[in-house]
């Protein structure tokens, strides 16, 4: 049997990883400035994480959501405390798209409405509702296009307000930082106005923090830079450091009803033990602080690089907008310097290293970059 051929692949096969380093099957060492697509938060194969999963699988790996599982309550307590949302509740699932799907469903149940406001250039996942609110017609099949969605420009509060005034909107969904489109940070003032206008019209505000959350930007969630409190927050990626887990944080104003949401695998023992280990390591090693510090340092060093037009983003979620003549820089970094980076549309290099990255590792990245392009002293 062949694999269904939907991915463009680099001809590299990682077989081992530790911290911010990855080794391929020939033993070549790579520096990880991509984090497996913003997924690796506490670093690859962290001993606390490895032990937690090993110990758990020896006890019980899975049962079902029809019995008690105190690992779920332990995770919810730690997450509430560390994220600054102790009064919100947690629904667990398995991926980012699924988290958004549940957020949309909950907003629709709550308001009795179904039209959604999303933003141009957004990415929210590939399942039916999540892809319908993704501004990319090429990944929407005819089956997905039955949803009622309007896309408005980012940072345009008048365009949002105009839609909300029509009275038929269930939710506004926005990425904490637009990732796939090339790292675009919503303005703080825009987010503050968005919160006000959603409240005024009884519209649910959903913050998709799947890529920008879990400490990546130097705060637990990137919307916390604007001081707002959304109604629902979706999470995944960094939450399990590679173990598939996602979830939504839900404001106390939503009433849970039995059977309203559900999943077979969501919140299983192994996923919870991985996610608890992630939160413990993030706290014990002050990784959010490290993300803020290393992000500032990296941004400052990058600002001296003449290959860049603009550097966008916060903490360790950075978009380096490259001049057209440096379009092959990512390939050079990968195949000559052995450094993984992420890509995005229009020549943007996305830097999404583990939150545990050290200054020495940032310096190696900058040194290798210097070899490929001229950098001012």
Ligand X SMILES: Cc1ncc(COP(=O)(O)O)c(C=O)c1O
List of residues contacting ligand X (CB under 6 A) = 95-97, 100, 123-125, 175, 179-180, 208, 210-211, 236
In the complex, least distance from residue 373 CB atom to ligand X, rounded to whole angstroms: 28
User: How far apart (Å, rounded) are the C-alpha atoms in residues 100 and 96?
Assistant: 6
Q: Which residue is nearest to ligand X (CB)?
A: 96
- Which residue, 198 or 210, is less far from ligand X as judged by CB? 210
- Which residue, 281 or 352, is less far from ligand X as judged by CB? 352
- Which residue, 184 or 326, is less far from ligand X as judged by CB? 184
Nearest in space to 350 (alpha carbons), one of 305, 375, 322, 317: 317
In the complex, least distance from residue 284 CB atom to ligand X, rounded to whole angstroms: 26
Q: Map residue 42 onto helix, strand or coil.
A: coil
- Which residue, 35 or 125, is less far from ligand X as judged by CB? 125
User: How far apart (Å, rounded) are the C-alpha atoms in residues 214 and 245?
Assistant: 13
Longest C-alpha distance within the chain, in Å?
62
- DSSP 8-state assignment for residue 184: B
- Which residue, 234 or 290, is less far from ligand X as judged by CB? 234
The kind and range of the H/E element at 20 are none
In the complex, least distance from residue 194 CB atom to ligand X, rounded to whole angstroms: 17
- Which residue, 39 or 294, is less far from ligand X as judged by CB? 39
In the complex, least distance from residue 327 CB atom to ligand X, rounded to whole angstroms: 22
| Strand ranges inside the chain, DSSP E | 14-18, 21-24, 29-32, 89-93, 115-119, 149-152, 169-175, 204-208, 232-235, 246-250, 308-314, 317-322, 339-340, 342-344, 348-351
In the complex, least distance from residue 307 CB atom to ligand X, rounded to whole angstroms: 25
- φ and ψ at residue 369, rounded to 5 degrees: -60, -40
In the complex, least distance from residue 221 CB atom to ligand X, rounded to whole angstroms: 12
């Amino acid at each position: 049997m062949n694999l269904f051929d939907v991915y463009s692949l680099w001809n590299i096969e990682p077989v081992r990883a530790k911290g911010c380093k990855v080794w391929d099957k020939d033993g070549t060492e790579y520096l990880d400035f991509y984090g497996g697509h913003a997924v690796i938060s506490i670093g690859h194969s962290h001993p606390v994480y490895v032990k937690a999963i090993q110990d758990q699988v020896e006890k019980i790996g899975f049962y079902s959501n029809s019995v008690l599982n105190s690992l779920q309550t332990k995770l919810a307590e730690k997450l509430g405390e560390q994220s600054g949302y102790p009064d919100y509740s947690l629904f667990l699932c398995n991926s980012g798209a699924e988290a958004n799907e549940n957020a949309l469903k909950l907003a629709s149940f709550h308001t009795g409405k179904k039209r959604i406001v999303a933003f141009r250039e957004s990415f929210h996942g590939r399942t039916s509702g999540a892809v319908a609110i993704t501004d990319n017609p090429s990944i929407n099949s005819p089956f997905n296009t039955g949803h009622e969605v309007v896309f408005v420009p980012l940072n345009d509060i008048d365009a949002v307000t105009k839609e909300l005034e029509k009275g038929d909107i269930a939710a506004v969904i926005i990425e904490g930082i637009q990732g796939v489109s090339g790292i675009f940070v919503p303005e703080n003032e825009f987010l503050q106005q968005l919160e006000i206008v959603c409240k005024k019209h009884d519209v649910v505000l959903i913050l998709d923090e799947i890529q920008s959350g879990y400490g990546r930007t130097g705060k637990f969630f990137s919307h916390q830079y604007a001081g707002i409190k959304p109604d629902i927050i979706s999470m995944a990626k960094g939450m399990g450091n590679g173990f598939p887990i996602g979830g939504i944080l839900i404001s106390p104003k939503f009433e849970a009803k039995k059977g309203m949401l559900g999943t077979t695998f969501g919140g299983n023992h192994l996923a919870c033990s991985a996610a608890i280990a992630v939160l413990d390591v993030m706290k014990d090693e002050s990784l959010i602080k490290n993300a803020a510090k290393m992000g500032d340092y990296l941004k400052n060093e990058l600002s001296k690089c003449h290959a860049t037009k603009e550097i966008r983003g916060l903490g360790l979620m950075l978009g380096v907008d490259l001049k057209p003549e440096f379009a092959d820089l990512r390939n050079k970094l990968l195949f000559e310097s052995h450094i993984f980076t992420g890509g995005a549309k229009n020549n943007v290099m996305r830097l999404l290293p583990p939150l545990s990255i050290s200054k020495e590792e940032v310096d190696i990245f900058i040194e290798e970059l210097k070899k490929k392009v001229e950098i001012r002293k």
